[in-house]
Amino acid sequence: MNSPGTGQKIESGYLQKSISYDAYKRLIDELVSAGKTTGPDQSGPMVHYTQLNQQRMHRVEKTIQVLPAVATQLLSVNRSQIWLVLTEAWCGDAAQSLPVIHALAELNPLISLRLLLRDENLELIDRYLTNGVSRSIPKLIAVEAVTSDVLFTWGPRPSALQESFEGMRSEGLPFDVIKEELQRWYNQNKTVMIEEELGALAAGTIKA
C-alpha cells in the first residue's frame, strides 16, 4: 500500500535509535550464528525463517540491477530525506524488499536509509496499519530530513502482490501455501515492481 504525503511527522527519537542497513545485516548474522531471531518469538520456525531470509537478502543484493528509468527518478530527488523502515529479521517480505530499498537509496546521497525493529516500536507501526488492522512489515516511511514531515509511505508489499495476498487469504488458503506463493512472485518479478513503485513515490518528492 502506497501513500504519498500523510500530513504526519516522525519524532526525532525514532530516527536517533534507528540503525543502518549494514548494522541490520550484522545483527542478522549474529542472530543466525546464535540460533536466534529478532522479536519475542524465538521458536524454531521463526529462527528458520531468519536463516532463509539471510540467504534471500544475499541473493537479491547480488542480482539486482536497478532499472534505468528508476535510477533517473532517484537521481532527480533534490530533497534531503530519511527512509525509515520498520522490519524484523524473520519477515520474508522484508528480506525481498530491503536490499532493493537499500540499492535505490544508495543512488542518491540525499537519501539515508535507516531501520527500526517493529516489535520494539509498536506505537509507531500502529500509526501505519495495513487496512487499518494489521502490523504488516516492511513499512517504509519517507521523512523530510529538515522538517520531519512524512513524504510518503510504502509497504508491506508491491500493490499487485498485496492484492494477491488478500485474495489468497480470503479464500482461506493455509498460510504456508500463501508464503510459498509470495516468494514465488518475488522470484519471478525480480524486484521490478518494488523499484517502479518506489521510484514513482520518490519522484513525487522532487521540489520544482
| Of 180, 152, 148, 135, residue with least CA distance to 6 | 152
Domain limits, the chain: 3-156+193-203
pLDDT value of position 47: 97
Question: Strands, DSSP E only, in the chain?
Answer: 3-4, 81-87, 111-117, 139-144, 150-154
pLDDT value of position 61: 97
Structural fold of domain 3-156+193-203:
Glutaredoxin (3.40.30)
Spatial distance between the Cα atoms of 116 and 139, rounded to a whole number of angstroms: 10
For residue 15, the one-letter residue type is L
Spatial distance between the Cα atoms of 182 and 20, rounded to a whole number of angstroms: 26
pLDDT digits (tens, 9 = 90+) for 16-35: 999 999 999 999 999 999 99
Please answer whether residues 56 and 96 qualify as being in contact, where contact means their C-beta atoms are separated by less than 8 angstroms: yes
Q: Which residue ranges of the chain lie beneath pLDDT 70?
A: 1-6
**Grid coordinates belonging to 33:** 550464528
**Grid coordinates belonging to 171:** 479464500
Spatial distance between the Cα atoms of 45 and 53, rounded to a whole number of angstroms: 12
pTM (two decimals): 0.95
pLDDT value of position 7: 74
